[in-house]
Structure 1
Amino acid sequence: MQSLVPDGKTLETRIIPPEGYERVHVNEGSFGEYLRNYSLLPDDIKIPAYDGTTISSTDVAAVFDISLGTDGYQQCADSIIRLYSDYFYEKGEFDKISFLFSNGDECSYNNWRKGMRMLVFADYSFEIPFGLPDNSEQQYRNYLKQVMRYAGTLSLQKESNVISVDELSIGDIICDDRHVVMIVDEAINEKGEKCYLIGQSFIPSVCFHILTHTEGTVTSPWYTQEQLEKDNFVIGSFPFAKSDIRRWKDGFQ
């Protein structure tokens, strides 16, 4: 696979754009820069799962060096929520760390760190005062664990809007009721044609990873705009429709 540089330690240095393409500009401190600088596990490693096992796959270009925990909650939607949330957490933008549960109720980290907690009974949830304010990283991880437990593809759909392929950019998702993947990087050529890196996790909980695809005799981690413009297409082993292309909240600049 010519796009891969085995010694690359980050997404930007491991996966290079196809010939004639260059990565799009991203601003300093942006989500795009955050993902491009994300540390990767060594090349050719199997995908680590939450229970200490590994999973072999022929359609993986790179694996993020991301913790999983031992509860098995960090599945497809949860891994994307984790990346969104960690980005804002590292920037100190705590007011932006807020996600819906699948029942439509909001769970805010700002409220959580002030001592509020969400109690959940079947499809119902409500917020109550529970303890003293706590800004520790452990409480942040506890917050994420609860969000991962009660959020999913349905909640990501509720807090995102359908966009056109022409609008697609880093941080956008392709999401239906069963599965969700995320646009992780973007490149463009002189004709204005674009291509994208796409990442996912799945069930069981595994490390977020970049997918490859095979078209004819060519295997590549870069999905072209032309492929995603079709009414129906496949990412990994999951079929999607063009109407599944979505932007979470206001997206990322």
Structure 2
Amino acid sequence: MQVFLIIIISLLAFSCNSQENNVSISKMGQSPVHQELQESESIKFNSQGNTIEKRFLVSGSLKRIPVGEGTFAQYLRSLPLKPHGSKVKKYNDELKYDQSVAAAVVNLPIGKRDLHQCADGIMHLKARYHFDRKEYDKIGFHFVNGFYCDFEHWKNGYRVRVSGNKTNWYKSGNKDSSQLTFWKYLEMVFSYAGTLSLAKELQPVSLNEIQIGDVFIIGGSPGHAIVVVDMSINENTGEKFLLLAQSYMPAQELHVLANFDNADISPWYSLSQFDKWVSTPEWTFEREDLKRFPN
């Protein structure tokens, strides 16, 4: 049985010195989580950085995990961010109730319908990665009822008819692989897929083998999912650090999560703090909830 805990944590400030572009946000040395960290290590924040990699910097013994050119991991690390200080918006342009959970806002569209929630945000990232590379045959997700909705069919003019428990393709128009067609496809996926279906598509992976692009996911209603968007490592000790991102309910912009359990290194998470639970601002997972896209 999956464990569902909602942690109520007092507000922690995520701030930077307005007089400098690069500000160290790491005190390093007092928290038990950081017993393996060295004084020479530094986690820095660049308010002018317009991607995850450029805004959340590391130096000293902390190095970013190497990733291959053109990989999903590189794509996530390079996700565009809105200017520092931007608020997380919901699909209707209202602000997310608790802004303290977000260290940065990802600059990607979410549409005007209440669809882009937790699993949807992750499917959006995976699909957009392949779409930008014109790898259309790699875009596809199962609905909760098991129907496989792939972009190849969609761009070739087929559409999905859902009638009760029956789902099928039907020919509707001409070939079209435009951004608008892609988004309409995503909205169809968001409407009929979710954490329950995505959890079945992903493959379990050990926390010790965690990689960028892996997903902590609990399938169900309610359920939740967050994605690893970057990683760094202490070259001296092997300790790993993660950046996590999520969308949430109601539909809202993807955002990099703050670390409420250790403000010294927020928004980075030390893998060692996940000794039993994977605690994030709005959801708590078990270590065994980590999964990976099969390709």
Task: Specify if TM > 0.5.
Answer: yes
Q: 1:21 aligns with which of 49, 62, 67?
A: 62
Instruction: Provide the secondary structure at the position in 2 that maps to 1:52.
Output: coil
Q: 1:118 aligns with which of 160, 184, 188?
A: 160
Closer/same/farther in 2, CA of residues 27 and 216 from structure 1, 3 Å limit: closer
Q: Which residue of 2 aligns with 1:237?
A: 282
Instruction: Provide the secondary structure at the position in 1 that maps to 2:92.
Output: coil
Distance in 2, matches of 1:114 and 1:225, equals 44
Measured after TM superposition, the shift of residue 36 of structure 1 is 2.3
Measured after TM superposition, the shift of residue 137 of structure 1 is 2.3
Measured after TM superposition, the shift of residue 23 of structure 1 is 0.6
Instruction: Provide the secondary structure at the position in 1 that maps to 2:242.
Output: strand
Q: Which residue of 1 aligns with 2:28?
A: none
1:78 aligns with 2:120: yes
Offset from partner CA, 1:6-45 (integer Å, 9 cap, x none): 1111111111237631111111111222222222111122
Offset from partner CA, 1:56-87 (integer Å, 9 cap, x none): 41121111011111112111111111111111
Q: 1:107 aligns with which of 140, 143, 149?
A: 149
Measured after TM superposition, the shift of residue 248 of structure 1 is 1.7
Instruction: Provide the secondary structure at the position in 1 that maps to 2:74.
Output: helix
Percent identical residues: 33
Measured after TM superposition, the shift of residue 46 of structure 1 is 1.2
Q: Which residue of 2 aligns with 1:148?
A: 190
Distance in 2, matches of 1:108 and 1:31, equals 19
Measured after TM superposition, the shift of residue 166 of structure 1 is 1.6
Instruction: Provide the secondary structure at the position in 1 that maps to 2:45.
Output: coil
Length, aligned pairs only: 249
TM-score by length of structure 1 reads 0.93
Distance in 2, matches of 1:28 and 1:233, equals 29
Closer/same/farther in 2, CA of residues 171 and 141 from structure 1, 3 Å limit: same
Contact 1:156 1:248 in 2 (8 A): no
Q: Which residue of 2 aligns with 1:9?
A: 50
Measured after TM superposition, the shift of residue 217 of structure 1 is 5.8
Distance in 2, matches of 1:20 and 1:214, equals 24
Distance in 2, matches of 1:5 and 1:132, equals 46
Measured after TM superposition, the shift of residue 220 of structure 1 is 0.9
Measured after TM superposition, the shift of residue 128 of structure 1 is 2.1
Q: Which residue of 1 aligns with 2:29?
A: none
Q: Which residue of 1 aligns with 2:83?
A: 42
Q: 2:107 aligns with which of 65, 68, 82?
A: 65
What are the residue-to-residue correspondences of 1:184-223 with 2, within 5 Å?
Answer: 184-190=229-235, 191-215=237-261, 218=264, 220-223=266-269
Moved over 6 A (4+): none
Measured after TM superposition, the shift of residue 134 of structure 1 is 2.1
TM-score by length of structure 2 reads 0.80
Distance in 1, matches of 2:183 and 2:129, equals 13
Instruction: Provide the secondary structure at the position in 2 that maps to 1:156.
Output: helix
Show structure 1 runs of 5+ residues with no match: none
Closer/same/farther in 2, CA of residues 162 and 111 from structure 1, 3 Å limit: same
Contact 1:17 1:222 in 2 (8 A): no
Show structure 2 runs of 5+ residues with no match: 1-13, 15-24, 26-43
| Aligned-residue CA RMSD (Å) | 1.6
Distance in 2, matches of 1:13 and 1:103, equals 41
Distance in 2, matches of 1:233 and 1:193, equals 16
Distance in 2, matches of 1:201 and 1:217, equals 21
Contact 2:260 2:280 in 1 (8 A): no
Measured after TM superposition, the shift of residue 246 of structure 1 is 0.5
Distance in 2, matches of 1:26 and 1:150, equals 33
Q: Which residue of 1 aligns with 2:210?
A: 168
Contact 1:212 1:219 in 2 (8 A): no
Contact 1:23 1:187 in 2 (8 A): yes
